[in-house]
Structure 1
Amino acid sequence: MTEAIQVWGAPEGWDAFLLARRRAEFPGAIVHVARDDARMARLAEALAFVMPEAEVLRFPAWDCLPYDRVSPNPALISERIATLARLLEKPDRPRIILTTVNALVQRVPPRSAFAGASMDLRVNGTVQPEKLAQFVESHGYGRAGTVMEPGEYAIRGGIIDIFPAGEADPVRLDLFGDTIESIRTFDPTTQRSAEKRQRLSLRPVSEVPLDKESIARFRTGWRDLFGQAAAEDPIYHSVSEGRRHPGMEHWVPLFHPTMENLLDYLSEASVSLDHQVEEVLKARLEMIADHFESRRGVARDGEVPYRPLPSGRLYLDRAEWDEMLSFGPLLAFSPFGKPDGAPGVEGGGRPGPVFAQGGLSSGGGPGINVFDQLRGQVERWS
């Protein structure tokens, strides 16, 4: 790994200003690795204030444990795929990518999985409902009676409802025959139409494709790893029939010819690391190893055995993490001021007092008026 340049004086809140400054200095993409999703969300809000002109893309981690039996949240997967697809397009404004340790340590589908994997629709254009249904189902969408969540679609006569990846609201297509008469967003709760659209681009909504080639690749990979007897597993049966199965994402490498990492999507990038990323990474790698060992144990009576992928198929190890971070400039943020003689640069920020409920965290307690405490702090600053 490239030795990181320590950036002192980079507390939460001030880090957004430092990223904005870095964006002005560096011609390539800016990638910041947060400790967790909460830190990433707060930083995204700060950047919206500091750099309203920037395109801030978030790439969150799956919201389930390694080797889980459940699938990640569809809305979260939608955001991940929207970011990966956007990274394949040339930016039209300053771009900053925010991710987390857990997201970056996990491999992602290759760029080829999303390059050209879209269906573009427009008003007065044509689309055959059966071909649209075939496209969306092979790219992760599921048929529903009423569209409520990302990744769902419904066809009722000449009306097609669909909740595409990366969209805030579902979209309704009104057809006359095969001609698209209108495209509108709608409220999934009230089902009332809202904003008119002229175009709509449908992208994959799952990291697991279910086209014929991907299914065949999965079947071969599954048998090679786990043996012919494992063909009785419910996941194997579901995928073989072209049906989705809860938790199938944890075998996503079997559906693709290769896997990549997030930084492979970028030709040039400057990466910065949140404070305590090293500790979070170590804990995550230990968790992955622990869950793998527990999952490959003998199944209890009556329980379908869990057949975990070798961890290296889905996750980076420490050496691969270091290699991934070696291809460009690397910064490491610290909230503390620069000690005398310490290497690195001074960011100029300092942690402020935390005004917790009932008083200041540095000594306030029940009965303390937080506004009096705040006024006193402001007077000292002035």
Structure 2
Amino acid sequence: MDLIKITELLKSDANYEGLVSEIIKGKPETRVQIIDEAVPFFTASLWKDLQIPILLICPSPEHSRRLHEYLSAWMDGESKPLRFGESEILPYERLTEDLSTSRERLITLDSLVKGNSEPLVIVTSASALAQKTISIKSFKKNSFSYVQGDKVNLEDMANSWQQMGYSFESNVSDPGTVSRRGGIIDVYPIGEDTPYRIELWGDEIDSIRTFDPDSQRSINIVDRFSIGPAKETLISSTSTDEFDRLLSHVDLSQCSPDEITRFNSEIDDLLNGRQIEELGLYSGFFNNGTLLDYFPEDGLVISYRNIDAMNSVWNVEERANQLRMVKENRGEIPLNFPTDRISWNEIEASIEKLKKNIFLMPWGASDLDNNNTRPMPFSSPPLYKGDLNALSVDTSEFTSGGGSVIAITSHHSRLKEILKGLNPSEPPGTGSVTDLDPLSVIPIDTANIGNGFVINTPQHRLTLLGD
């Protein structure tokens, strides 16, 4: 059974159904009280019932990674949620860009620009939102489609891809790489599952194939492919006039002679369109967009622990300001050097422009307004920590009282053996969750739903247990 079918149980809860109705009718803002353990399940349920794009904003990178993992389990078999990650590098640092994080962010942006056939679910953190990215205008300007039979100039195409952030290698093995051998060019676009091999006949694209990057063997013949930016920071993203305007505010007077020489050399390279090794330091000159610029206006933004998110952004901003002052005093960076971060106030203003917003409030929140908050029917599950005897006793009592238990675990064979006296069953792939036996064990391999939770609605009492 697909786990997302369990979300059917929420439809018997008046507060949940009222919330869905409010969103459909266009209410711009709703507050919801919910336990932390149920947030991924709740998000998956809204996605299934509303079929609109959802952006889940978490208070910290740790929350973002964990909720993305749990949400992926609930949506397995339906859709794959995306994660828009955050760089660990603070502004003003001369450190190498984290390619895996940048690719993760670009895949999300690419999916939003292309507009997938099914609504996207994106999980991000407040600090990731605060980090500016390539503008949507520049992203589209640096996105191209090629069709078999197109006439191309190989040199111009290769140069264009290099300006889009692709690196030329002897073999294509990772996203963002290109390889050229005579009239054959291999490219691995960001966001694609496999690379493409393009064969030219003169200046015409004769064939396009996908291939396995490990064996280099062809997989399928296709008639077209698309390619977008391979890096978030592109020199072409900012016009010469805008670059000059930003540069006019930069004051090198407090920098050391060596740093002045270094900055002047790097700026000269940038003005002439040449790549530099530490381009990330200059991202404040080129990155003018945010994830919220890409998110569709009819999508739903779910802000989880909003106060904690605000504090997280402020903490990063404070650390960045302290680093800036230290580096300015040491003469390592100029005064008025542009940053690639936006403030919490700017994030809030962008969120308010979107039409559908939910603010998730944890149980016990001090700023809770009970008159304007919809409580969801969840409570925390019992934690057994290996006490299988207590698990067996509690399960027996709960099911005897009319409740149901679903254990979602990778240890399903062992658990069914332990609870065999309670007649556990494995639900079929088809059918409704309302038809399940009092005790069900759903096997999973590597997915993880967390600790689980308890659902209490007028029609259903269900305990969900995870690994």
The question of 1:272 aligning with 2:297 is answered: no
Which amino acid letter does the alignment assign opposite residue 232 of structure 2?
E
Q: 1:164 to 1:37 in 2, by over 3 A?
A: farther
**CA-to-partner distance for each residue in 1:282-330, whole Å, 9 max, x for gaps?**
322222222222232214xxxxx2347656x422223323322323443
In the aligned structure 1, how far is the partner of 2:215 from the partner of 2:78?
33
Q: 1:350 to 1:246 in 2, by over 3 A?
A: farther
Corresponding residue to 2:286 among 232, 249, 255: 255
Q: 1:232 to 1:291 in 2, by over 3 A?
A: closer
Does the 8 Å contact 1:31/1:98 carry over to 2?
Answer: yes
**CA-to-partner distance for each residue in 1:45-76, whole Å, 9 max, x for gaps?**
44445444456343222242332212432233
Which residue of structure 2 lines up, in the alignment, with residue 306 of structure 1? 333
Q: More helix per residue: 1 or 2?
A: 2
Corresponding residue to 2:323 among 272, 291, 294: 291
In the aligned structure 2, how far is the partner of 1:196 from the partner of 1:109?
32
TM-score normalised per structure 2 = 0.66
Does the 8 Å contact 1:82/1:166 carry over to 2?
Answer: yes
Which residue of structure 2 lines up, in the alignment, with residue 316 of structure 1? 342
Q: 1:337 to 1:306 in 2, by over 3 A?
A: closer
The question of 1:239 aligning with 2:270 is answered: yes
More moved, 111-120 vs 228-237 = 228-237
- Which protein has the larger Cα radius of gyration, Structure 1 or Structure 2? 2
Q: 1:107 to 1:309 in 2, by over 3 A?
A: farther
In the aligned structure 2, how far is the partner of 1:64 from the partner of 1:226?
23
More moved, 111-120 vs 208-217 = 208-217
The question of 1:22 aligning with 2:46 is answered: yes
Which amino acid letter does the alignment assign opposite residue 380 of structure 2?
P
Which residue of structure 2 lines up, in the alignment, with residue 222 of structure 1? 247
Does the 8 Å contact 1:101/1:277 carry over to 2?
Answer: yes
Does the 8 Å contact 2:176/2:230 carry over to 1?
Answer: yes
Offset of residue 120 of structure 1: 1.2
**CA-to-partner distance for each residue in 1:144-174, whole Å, 9 max, x for gaps?**
2333333221211122122211123433223
Q: 1:127 to 1:3 in 2, by over 3 A?
A: closer
Which amino acid letter does the alignment assign opposite residue 289 of structure 1?
N
Does the 8 Å contact 1:11/1:334 carry over to 2?
Answer: no
The question of 1:70 aligning with 2:57 is answered: no
Which residue of structure 1 lines up, in the alignment, with residue 34 of structure 2? 9
In the aligned structure 2, how far is the partner of 1:381 from the partner of 1:182?
63
In the aligned structure 2, how far is the partner of 1:180 from the partner of 1:370?
64
**CA-to-partner distance for each residue in 1:199-229, whole Å, 9 max, x for gaps?**
2101111222234974675356335423598
Q: What stretches of structure 1 of length at least 5 have no aligned partner?
A: 300-304, 361-368
Which amino acid letter does the alignment assign opposite residue 243 of structure 1?
R
Q: What stretches of structure 2 of length at least 5 have no aligned partner?
A: 1-26, 400-467
Does the 8 Å contact 1:74/1:151 carry over to 2?
Answer: no
Does the 8 Å contact 2:298/2:356 carry over to 1?
Answer: no
Alignment of 1:320-331 (within 5 A): 320-327=346-353, 328-331=355-358
Q: 1:8 to 1:288 in 2, by over 3 A?
A: same
Aligned pair count? 360
Offset of residue 232 of structure 1: 4.3
Q: Report the aligned-residue RMSD.
A: 3.5
In the aligned structure 2, how far is the partner of 1:19 from the partner of 1:172?
39
Alignment of 1:92-171 (within 5 A): 92-171=117-196
Secondary structure of 2:137's counterpart equals helix
Offset of residue 130 of structure 1: 0.7
In the aligned structure 2, how far is the partner of 1:289 from the partner of 1:227?
18
In the aligned structure 2, how far is the partner of 1:17 from the partner of 1:293?
44
In the aligned structure 1, how far is the partner of 2:115 from the partner of 2:109?
12
Which amino acid letter does the alignment assign opposite residue 370 of structure 2?
A
Offset of residue 354 of structure 1: 5.2
Which residue of structure 2 lines up, in the alignment, with residue 333 of structure 1? 360
Which residue of structure 2 lines up, in the alignment, with residue 365 of structure 1? none
Identity %: 23
